[in-house]
């Protein structure tokens, strides 16, 4: 089974203090640590497990700057066989649609039985690239996938729905699935895996190599563009109540009454 995994190189922002850059449309990246997108990490692990069980190959592909190669090296260290980095200054400011077009221009020429992506990216959270890519390729897709099985050339997948519900679908292959966290437990990268990964080739392709024009990528080829990025103003503040349990209970009742809630 030949599997393609689309991954993204994103900043780790959980404990970082983010600042808006001078353009007002992005964040200051100096000092931030970048790594593979969390959801893509699970997609990669699922692909490697499938390869170990059924044979075949795993190809990791990303659209990003030169430093996104470190994420691809991590994919190779974890078990991917090939890696492709799509890098070009003209790709800057591409939205999810333009990014899907860039991926499609390369993937359409590759053999695959399955494409896996993360359910969303940790930096923009659009959750659009996977479905748009599937539509461009003309293949079925399922999102928020938490379990994948195979039978008679088809995939049986469990999708996460709202309210703790799941649905079970039968999907013809080839297909694209966007993977939810928790589908597996990503493995640690071994020292031997890192050494082997450094010796493998990462294929680099730019705009001139993929058959698209400048009008197909970047802001020109996007449906959406960022007008302004800002930190939401603090409109309300937390109030800490002090005193004995009875005093605190009385204050809570007074607050509820003053707001017409009781």
Residue 193 sits in a domain whose CATH number is 3.40.50.620
Domain containing 70: what range?
2-216
Q: Predicted confidence band at 211 (pLDDT cuts at 50, 70, 90)? A: very high
Q: Which residues pair with 36 in a beta bridge?
A: 9
Domain membership flag for residue 255: no
The pLDDT of 78-103, averaged and rounded, is 97
Judged by DSSP in three states, 223 sits in coil
Asked whether the CA dihedral 202, 26, 12, 46 is positive or negative, the reply is: negative
pLDDT of 84 over the 80 cut:
yes
Confidence of residue 63 (pLDDT cuts 50, 70, 90): very high
Tell me the C-alpha to C-alpha distance, in Å, between residue 197 and each of 10, 49, 57, 150, 190: 20, 18, 15, 29, 10
Question: What per-residue confidence (pLDDT) applies to 61?
Answer: 98
> What confidence tens digit (pLDDT) does each residue in 128-158 have?
999 999 999 999 999 999 999 999 889 999 9
Confidence of residue 18 (pLDDT cuts 50, 70, 90): confident
How many Cβ atoms from other residues are within 10 Å of residue 91's Cβ?
21
Residue 161 pLDDT greater than 90, yes or no:
yes
Task: Examine residue 21 and state whether it is found in any structural domain, yes or no.
Answer: yes
| Residue 132 pLDDT | 98
Q: What is the pLDDT of residues 98-112, one digit of tens each?
A: 999 999 999 999 999
CA 171, 177, 179, 180: dihedral to nearest 10 degrees? -60
Domain assignment of residue 117, yes or no: yes
As a whole number of angstroms, the distance between CA 253 and CA 112 comes to: 62
pLDDT score of 31:
85
When divided into structural domains, the chain yields a total of 1
């Amino acid at each position: 089974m030949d599997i393609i995994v689309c991954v993204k190189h994103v900043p780790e922002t959980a404990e970082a203090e983010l600042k808006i850059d001078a353009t007002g449309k992005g964040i200051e990246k100096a000092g931030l640590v970048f790594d593979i997108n969390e959801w893509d990490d699970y997609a990669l692990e699922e692909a490697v497990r499938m390869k170990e069980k059924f044979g075949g190959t795993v190809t990791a592909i990303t659209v990003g700057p030169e430093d996104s190669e470190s994420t691809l090296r991590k994919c190779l260290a974890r078990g991917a066989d090939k890696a492709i980095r799509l890098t070009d200054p003209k790709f800057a400011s591409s939205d999810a649609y333009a990014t899907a077009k860039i991926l499609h221009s390369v993937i359409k020429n590759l053999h695959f039985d399955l494409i896996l992506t993360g359910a969303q990216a940790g930096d923009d959270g659009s959750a659009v690239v996977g479905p748009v890519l599937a539509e461009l390729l003309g293949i079925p897709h399922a999102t928020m996938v938490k379990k994948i099985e195979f039978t008679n050339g088809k995939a049986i997948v469990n999708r996460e729905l709202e309210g703790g519900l799941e649905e079970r679908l039968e999907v013809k292959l080839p297909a694209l699935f966007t993977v939810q966290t928790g589908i597996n437990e990503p493995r640690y990268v071994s020292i031997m895996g890192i050494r082997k990964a450094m010796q493998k080739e990462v294929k680099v392709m730019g705009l001139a190599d993929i058959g698209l024009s400048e009008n197909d990528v970047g802001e020109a080829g996007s449906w959406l563009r960022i007008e302004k990025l800002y930190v939401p103003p603090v409109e309300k503040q937390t109030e800490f109540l002090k005193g004995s349990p009875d005093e605190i209970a009385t204050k809570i009742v007074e607050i509820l009454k003053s707001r017409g809630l009781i």
